[in-house]
Chains A and B, each alone.
Chain A
Amino acid sequence: MTTTTKSASRKLTIARAMAEATAQEMRIDPRVFVMGEDVGPLGGVFGNTRGLHDEFGPERIRDTPISETAFIGAAVGAASDGMRPVVELMFVDFFGVCMDAIYNLMAKNTYFSGGKVKVPMVLMTSTGGGYSDAGQHSQCLYGTFAHLPGMKVVVPSNAYDAKGLMTAAIRDDNPVVFMYHKALQGMGWLGTEKGATVAVPEEAYTVEIGKAAVAREGRDVTLVSLGVGVHHSLRAAQALEAEGFSAEVIDLRSLVPLDRETLRASVAKTGRLIVIDEDYHSYGVSGEIIASVAEHPGCRLRAAPKRVAYPDIPIPFAPTMEQWALPNADKIVAAFHQMLSES
C-alpha cells in the first residue's frame, strides 16, 4: 500500500508507514511475506498491514489461527530456509505462550549452527497502554526482549523512523523485534499523539538499527526515552524551557544494539540524566541506560540520575489508576526539580 498523496508535505501515521515499508519490500523481494492474526483483509488490529492483502493476496499475507507458538515457529523455519517472514505477535503481552520459538529458536539458531543458518525475520508486536486495556494488553516489556541475546530490538517514536526501521529490519539477516507503541499508531481509540504522524518520503529508505537520535538539543539535562516516552520528554523539555532550563532529548530508536556513545556524549555535555520508560521500573531499560552512562570511566554527573518509569505493579484497568501509574511530562518536570533540590 502506498498512500496516494503527491504533496511534498505528505505525512503518514506509524501504522501507514509500517505497511508502506512492508509493501515496498514485498514488491522487490518475493521472499518477504507476512503472517499473523487479522493481518489479512482486516489490515491488522493496529492498522499496520492495511492494504497488503488487497495487493499481495492470501498466499503472501497469511491470516493465522490464534496459535502464536505454531506460526512464530513456522516463521523461524521459513526464515532458516531462505524466506524473509514478517510475523506479528498482536500484543507483546502474549509472549508467554510462544517465547520458546522466539528466544530459543529465532534468537539462537544462528549461534547454534555455527553461523550456517541465518534467521532473517521480523517479529512485530504492539506495546503500551493508556486506554484501559488492563494488565494483559498494556505492557511494554522492552527490557524483557532487549535482555535476551541474539535478536535486535527497535522501538520507533514517529512514522519516519518507523518506515526506515521496518525497511532496515526486513533487509537485516538477523531476527529483529519491531516493538510499536499503540498510542502512536494513529488509531484514535488507542490515543492520539500528533507528534508521531510526520512527513515520510515515498521512496524506500533505511534508518540504521543501533543509532539513537537527538530529538532536541539542550545543555542542562539529558532526557532519554523511547517510543511514546519521547513525546512526553519533548513536552517536558518545552515546559522546562519556559522555566529557563534547556533539556536535551535522546530518542533511543534501538535497544539492541544500544547506542551508548550518543548517550554518553549527551550526558558529558549536560551532566544530568533522567530516563523515561513506560516499561517496569526495576530490572529494565532505565537501569541499563543509567548503568551504561555511570560505568563509563569518563562519566561526570552533576547530580544522581533519575528515572520516570512504570511502577512495579500489574497495569490497572481503572482509568484513574492507570493514568496515575503512567509516565508523563509533569512527572519528568517534577523529577528534574527534585534533582536540582538534591544537588
Chain B
Amino acid sequence: MTTEITVPTDLWEGDTEGVITAWLVNDGAEVAEGDLVAEVMVEKAQYEIEAPATGRLGIAKEEDEVVSKGSVIATLEP
C-alpha cells in the first residue's frame, strides 16, 4: 500500500505556508520508517519531516516549492 508523506498539521503554529528547503534522500531511494527525509522552512525557522513508513521514496514537491500543512510532498512504495 502506498503511504503518503504529508506535512504534519501540528508541525508549526498557525496556518502560514512553508517551503521545502532540502530533500535529504534522493528520489527513488529506499527509506526506513522514522528516517529524516526533508526540511521545510516557515518564516526562517526549519522543521524536519520524517518518513511515516518504510519504502521507496517518490518526491512530489521539489525544493523551493510552497507547501501547506497537510500537503502531500512525497509517496512511499513498499
Contact = CB atoms under 8 A, between A and B. Distances in A.
B39 A192 contact: no
B35 A5 contact: yes
B23 interface: yes
Given A9-B26, A13-B22, A189 B41 contact: yes
A42 to B, nearest CB: 10
Contacts of A3: 24, 36
Contacts of B35: 4-7
A10 B25 CA distance: 5
Contacts of B19: 188
Residue in A3, A10, A12, A47 whose Cβ sees the most chain B Cβ within 10 Å? A10
B17 to A, nearest CB: 12
Nearest to A198: B26
Contacts, number: 61
B22 A197 contact: yes
A5 B29 CA distance: 12
Nearest to B40: A188
Interface string B29-50: 1111011110101001010000
Interface in A12-46: 12-13, 16
Interface string A143-172: 000000000000000000000000000000
B77 interface: no
Given A186-B21, A188-B41, A197-B23, A9 B63 contact: no
A3 B63 CA distance: 19
Contact of B29 (A7, A47, A187): A7
A4 B31 CA distance: 11
A72 B26 CA distance: 39
Contacts of A192: 21-22, 63-64
A15 to B, nearest CB: 9
Given A5-B25, A13-B39, A188 B46 contact: yes
A6 B34 CA distance: 9
Contacts of A11: 22-26
A9 B26 CA distance: 7
A194 interface: yes
Given A47-B46, A194-B63, A186 B26 contact: no
Nearest to B41: A188
A47 to B, nearest CB: 7
5 contacts: A6-B35, A7-B35, A9-B29, A13-B24, A188-B41
Given A4-B36, A6-B32, A188-B41, 14 more contacts: A3-B24, A5-B37, A6-B35, A7-B35, A8-B29, A11-B23, A12-B24, A13-B21, A13-B22, A187-B21, A187-B46, A188-B19, A188-B44, A197-B23
7 cross-chain pairs, A with B, having the tightest CB-CB distances, nearest first: A188-B41, A188-B21, A9-B29, A5-B35, A186-B22, A9-B26, A11-B24
Interface of A: 3-13, 16, 47, 186-189, 192, 194, 197, 199
